[in-house]
Structure 1
Amino acid sequence: MPLPTVAIVGRPNVGKSTLFNRLVGKRVALVDDRPGVTRDRRVGTAHLLGLEFQIMDTAGFEDEDPASLPGRMRRQTEAAVREADAALFVIDAREGVTPLDEEIARWLRVEDTPVIVAANKAEGRGGEAGRLEAFSLGLGEPIALSAEHGEGLVDLFEHLRPFVEREEVEEEQLDPEDPDRPLHLAIVGRPNAGKSTLVNRMLGEDRMITGPEAGITRDSISIDWEWQGRKVKLVDTAGLRKRAKVEDKLERLSVQDTRRAIDMAEVVVLLLDATRGLEVQDLKIASQVLEEGRALVIALNKWDVAEHASSLFNGVKAALVEGLSQLKDPAVLTVSAVTGKGIDQLLGAAFTLREAWNRRTSTGELNRWFEQAVETNPPPAPGGRRIKLRYITQVKTRPPSFVVFGTRVDQLPESYRRYLLNSLRKYFDLGAVPLRMTLRAPKNPFDR
């Protein structure tokens, strides 16, 4: 049974994202003194004095041309309110009611969603006049809040309880080995690669704000979804530019948010713009994903308008093989976020990779392969002294990690370790999954 949903609405810079972070108990929404930081809807699970509900942070409501970026952000906010069980209308108690607040109130009064007015930044007595002024909005008794300092949460609890209280349901525990658990799938790439457009095409709705402007997405937005009856937690992220070009504080926060999304993902889709080909920044992003131990799918987007498709695909594949030492055969697919072509193949590949990423192989199977691999290509003998490799075992999954035991393993060349990894990947059909291999020698009792 889904949790009830509360949408936070209001004009820019009244503290909506600060309140969102307060209710979910961690700093997940980007917060800055500048207005207009939040653009897409961000959803989290709120916990308020025993109440549990979905809380939705929205973009600041502005009176702009519907075709402009603020106008497209406003449409997202309007959609959020219509989907919610209740709307939390936040004003700035220190500034009092503004003409834009009055316009928002007029809009909310004609919607069917119940509304609670919260006068934020009301710490101490500085905001009492603004709270009283909010009675003029005609939306009932305003409550005084300080999202920054956590004041007024008891009043918020009392006002929200009629809309979100429900019988407790035992929370479902997600077993990492359960094949029915949601696939955590993050979409990453450079700005304007089409990440948000791809997410919208997957969902079949304009859930993310898109447009010709680069860098529209700032927060990493997580969406629960189903594909062919299989659960997916889909994460759209901010574009990653070269580090030298990232000077703005807000963009640095967005980059950190994207990196957290990679850390939490199981499979990461690196989306490339087929009209621009492969760039050095793409290789850096791919290397970062693999270093974090995440399964990687590379998708060439805008394939419907790509020129010289065959040579482009082969060139990108060759450059990836050369530039990514961690993978011998990276998974490369073609998609079109505009037409939807290739999306089912992309998601099918992501589920297959997740299965390999979680796979545990028995020690017996591993050592049958290991003996054959060592016999086919024995390790070198530096200085005329043989390196003996005795056995292998898997120590963990997510990603698959192995330990090889032997003598004088500190002298084993890196090229031989790569040979073992590539042979292991091919023999057990582990695909484009990062693998970890550690070499260990048994303790020598005569070392002292």
Structure 2
Amino acid sequence: MDRIRIVGGNTLNGSIPISGAKNAALPLMIAGLLTDEKLVLENVPRLADVSLLQRILGNHGIDITVAGKRRGDDAYAGQTLEIDARVIVDTTAPYELVSKMRASFWVIGPLLARMGEAKVSLPGGCAIGTRPVDLHIAALEALGTEIEIDGGYVLARAPKGLKGGRIVFPKVTVGATHTALMAASLADGETTIENAACEPEIVDVADCINAMGGRIEGAGTPTIRIVGVPRLRGARHSVLPDRIETGTYAMAVAMTGGDVLLSGARADLLDSALDTLREAGAEITVSNEGLRVRRNGAGLAPVEVTTAPFPGFPTDLQAQLMALTTMASGTSRITETIFENRFMHVQELARLGAHIQLDGETATIEGVERLKGAPVMATDLRASVSLVIGALAAEGESMIHRVYHLDRGFERLEEKLSACGAEIERIAG
């Protein structure tokens, strides 16, 4: 199993290209099920999750090809996927595939809209209600779907097609908003989604579906209106830049000091996180090229943050911010309101010398003067990169184990950081 070795203490200087957003690329790939024409997605990141979803969609008979590079393409340019769902040969998404990626459950919406039926495993075999799969189901029922749960599978049928309806989510949910948006795009009549997620990735998917001939208004606001169309056509769409990758590298620069241009980044996608970084002591400049992040000489200041749905501080940047605050000159507090059990990185950061106390959903971080390198273990995607940020600033060598988590969401992380002066390498095996 691969490991990553980091010798901390180097500042970061240079340029880091920001990849396409994983959290947009995955639902965009699934949206390819909505049309029998070719959907071409540009700027798709090269990630383990993208490769896995390619295999999952292939199980339904979807043909996905990677277009070759063009002359003059940047080495870090995202890949172009051509998705051909002309023939769907199977409307079942089996447990052995869905259990590997929760987002693959979202195929239920397009399969149902296009084929009138879908049989999709509950993600990880979890019970309804323990994770918000029930909100996906409620949304589909509001569109006239007949739902049955049997043997760990959701059996969904709409033999006469989906009908427009009113969907009111009791809480903001990105996944169920994606499901409702895609299903309603081919439903008969008008659908209103209330208390919809406002994340930029929702807007990106809506923009793509509109380019395919859909009629969606209000994406990016709590109320989305969709007028269903009989069919969608093919289109070409470029995936928006990854705001979580942007925020992660911005925090790495703030942690280590230095001066880095995050090429291609968009400030409007993470205003709340950038405000927090400025409060912590980073200097951030916005230009047509992207975001320039600097911290030279000044120490880190403590911050208080509560995660919230967009446009609030992203839960996907909570672990990275916690790593940053471990060396702030004072007491920081971070409250996690989106996901339970998302403080698994705390014990590993403590191995680097961090002082963190947990009280329910709030972490209190007492800044220390220095961190020291140590062997640590990644527990999930965002936790793993928080350990990278900590190790970059720690004295001596750190070895990060189980880095396959990193490969799910960060493209060429070692290359991007080493190009800016970090002493970081992957050790195979």
Fold-level match, TM-score > 0.5?
no
TM-score of the aligned structures, taking structure 2 as reference length: 0.24
Higher relative contact order (CA 8 A, sep 6+): 2
Please state which structure has a larger fraction of its residues in strand.
2
